[in-house]
Structure 1
Amino acid sequence: MFLGNIKAAIAVAVLLSVCACTSSSTVESNKSADYNGSIKKLFLFTNLGKTLYSQSVVESTQETDPAAFVALMRSSLGSCGIAMDSFARPADGPAHNILPQHIPLQGADAILEISWTRERTGGQGHITDYLASLLDVQSKTVVWKATIELKQHFKAPEELTSALINRMKRDGLIGANCVPPKSDW
């Protein structure tokens, strides 16, 4: 009887430890009904502030890691034939929009801008909200918006990339063959 209780307790502990590490981030999006563009080249503009952490960065330098997010996005989009250029606004950069005067778009079909909007900690852990907007270069209109509530703090670059790629696939902005980062957390 006692051995059975121990086995049950171990099974529950393992289940809870796995659940605590899985993604619980949420994404809400809205795509323009008349947008049917095919993205071949994307320009990614990030304004992530000091919100994006990865476990290795936190353990070593206590600095943020937006470069990891950009690299993961480039790899994921590259897996389905989409070329990507990027520009990351420095965490302590100017508050005004620097996109038009500092960035050559170099033939991009679309511009994906992602910015953090809010960061908080509390009973549910560390949560950061992001806003993503996709601008169609030819029509000069925003054709897609998404809000992302990121709840995975120590693998944030992977989680943010995965949430964004999966939602873009679901909304038909990119091909179903785009591969998000592996979810090993």
Structure 2
Amino acid sequence: MNVTLTIVISFVIGMTVSVVHKNLQALRHHNGDSELSNHTVSDYFSYCRKIAEVIASHTNVVLGGEGKTVQIDETFLTKRKYNRGRITEQMTTTVLGLYCKEDKTGNTINDLENQNKLFKKSIACRKIPKLLHQYMALFWYRRNVLKKFDDDGSQNMQFLLDIKRVYPGYVNGNLQEGLMLKEIDSP
């Protein structure tokens, strides 16, 4: 059994770190293999989120155009209840949801607000900015890349192809350069 491939497939189909760890532990115990650390699974998931982040950073999407309406809905990732407690960096992070009405027929600003709600639920960690960016990219990657495919096998194949784009490996004995995270300057 290839643990790495099992973890990657589990990531793509949307399993949580704790569920993957629990199932792998049971399987390894049954086979008489050594223990597997929860940190190992967590690290692999972090690498997978990094792949999604790099792919998302290399995707250009054009919204709107002449005669089209682009809707914007802002959402705050965290807020203070009753204006108590410290103000953290994440409280100053505002995420803008952009939506072109004409490109998606029958939708309203409520659909955009629902997407923001789903996005906020998908973020497992809001305390570390690096992880926050990875979860934002992962949400986009799942909704815009993986959702194009109807079955888990095709989604896994696409993710493996994207891993190859980021880490192409060796060709004719030469290490190839893959995609790197494309950063943009703050406005």
More helix by share: 2
Structure 2 length as normaliser, TM-score?
0.31
Structure 1 length as normaliser, TM-score?
0.31
More strand by share: 1
Higher relative contact order (CA 8 A, sep 6+): 1
